[in-house]
Structure 1
Amino acid sequence: MSAETVLGMILAAGYSRRFGEDDKRCCRLPDGRTLLESTVAQANEAFPLLRVVVREEDDIRVLGLSGTTPILRVRHAESGLGASLGEAITHLEQDESLQHVSAVAILLGDMPCIRSETLRAMQREAGRSHIIRPSYAGRPGHPVIMGRDFWPELASLRGDEGGKHVIRRHQNQYHEVPVDDAGIHIDVDSLKDLQDID
């Protein structure tokens, strides 16, 4: 599938309470970029069409993002990941400029180590009626690419319920792509995790 028909969507509206008092999205990596800035830059290499999901009140400059970053603001982030995902997908469905988009790659804002070639390999497998997920060493990881046929179910998500339930209901359309990329399993939940990122 062409890059123009798969939209990359980075979920970065969560409160990361396990991380502590600091907003981990703003924490600096060894290269000087913020965690979120690094994740966005990596995703942008594979997805020319991109949206970054943040809270309504977020200052994108504090997050390390430029004024040209395509932002999608959600109002119910405090209700959980499912609420943010559902609200963001509703925005995509209602955006007339995205009618040609056949699938959305759902990325997490705290996963900056996924290789761009992994994202491009997954993109090639995407389709309107497919659910695509990478696997490394026999274990599935992120991101998950959801075909447009599943967007109405995603839009109905509430609370902390993520997309796993949608995947379970559509096992016949679910496909794992083996990749040589441990980054699909590396997320930042603590300060130690942040220090382990090169």
Structure 2
Amino acid sequence: MKNAGLVLAAGAGRRMGTPKALVRDADGAPWVVRASRLLAASGCAPVVVVIGAAADEVRAELSAEPVHVVEATDWAEGMGASLRAGLKTFAPGVEAVVVVPVDVPGLTSAAVRRVVERAGPEALVRATYGGAPGHPVVIGREHWAGVITSARGDEGARGYLREHETVLVECGDVSDGADVDTPEDLPPGHG
């Protein structure tokens, strides 16, 4: 079974004051590099990164990474535009895509591997943290057309997931699934 990775990294990060793709971990790596490496280390291949805001800067950060970069020209619409652009890029051999937004710095390979265990062409799988839905999300190929049609604004695939049977996989014991939206939310050593 072939599971690809999809990093949604196109947003401007208005509340953060900079595109979140360019925020740096304590070790100096930009979040866009951290997220793409995390998916690759978790066995996802290929890894596609969708960029938009500050596209040239983000592309430069990824220049040495083994990823496929896709620019969502309508990125300002929200996460839905990035998700649509990313899902449209995968070759027929890919059965499922593991989707992560760039702004979940506490995500671990253990959480990614846990949701990937449930992957397949018909899969809809979502990580939860203390019962609250989060990322990663696995979208099987059979659902791509529906997600592409319904993904709008900043909701991404949330509406589609609500309307279809989705397997929930608790990951709070192996990962921190918190989205980081403002500088005040940053973990120590990030910035």
How high is the TM-score relative to the length of structure 1? 0.83
The answer to whether structure 1 residue 159 and structure 2 residue 153 are counterparts is yes
From the two aligned structures, give the one with the greater helix fraction: 1
Whether the aligned pair in 2 keeps the contact of 1:7 and 1:50 (CA below 8 Å) is yes
Distance in 2 between residues matched to 1:148 and 1:62, nearest whole Å: 27
Q: Do residues 187 (structure 1) and 190 (structure 2) align?
A: no
1:111-150 alignment to 2 at 5 Å? Answer: 111-150=104-143
- The residue that corresponds to 1:14 in the other structure is 11
Compute the displacement of 1:73 (Å): 1.5
Secondary structure, in 3 states, of the residue corresponding to 1:71?
Answer: strand
Identity in percent: 30
- Once the two structures are overlaid, the 10-residue window that deviates more, 161-170 or 49-58, is 49-58
Which structure 2 residue ranges, 5 or more long, are not aligned?
A: none
Larger radius of gyration: 1
Structure 2 residue 31 is the aligned partner of structure 1 residue 35: yes
- Note the alpha carbon deviations across 1:54-107, whole angstroms, 9 max, x for none: 128612567632344321121110111112212322233xxxxx2111111111
On the 8 A contact 1:56/1:74 being kept in 2, the answer is no
Give aligned pairs, total: 186
Q: Please give the alpha-carbon distance, in whole angstroms, between the structure 2 residues aligned to 1:61 and 1:159.
A: 22
Q: TM-score, normalised by structure 2?
A: 0.86
- 1:111 alignment partner, SS class: coil
Q: Cα RMSD between the aligned structures?
A: 2.1
Match of 2:21 among 18, 21, 25: 25
Query: Which residue in the other structure is 1:91 paired with?
Result: 89
Distance 1:145 1:23 in 2: 24
Partner Cα separation in structure 2 for residue 90 and residue 181 of structure 1? 31
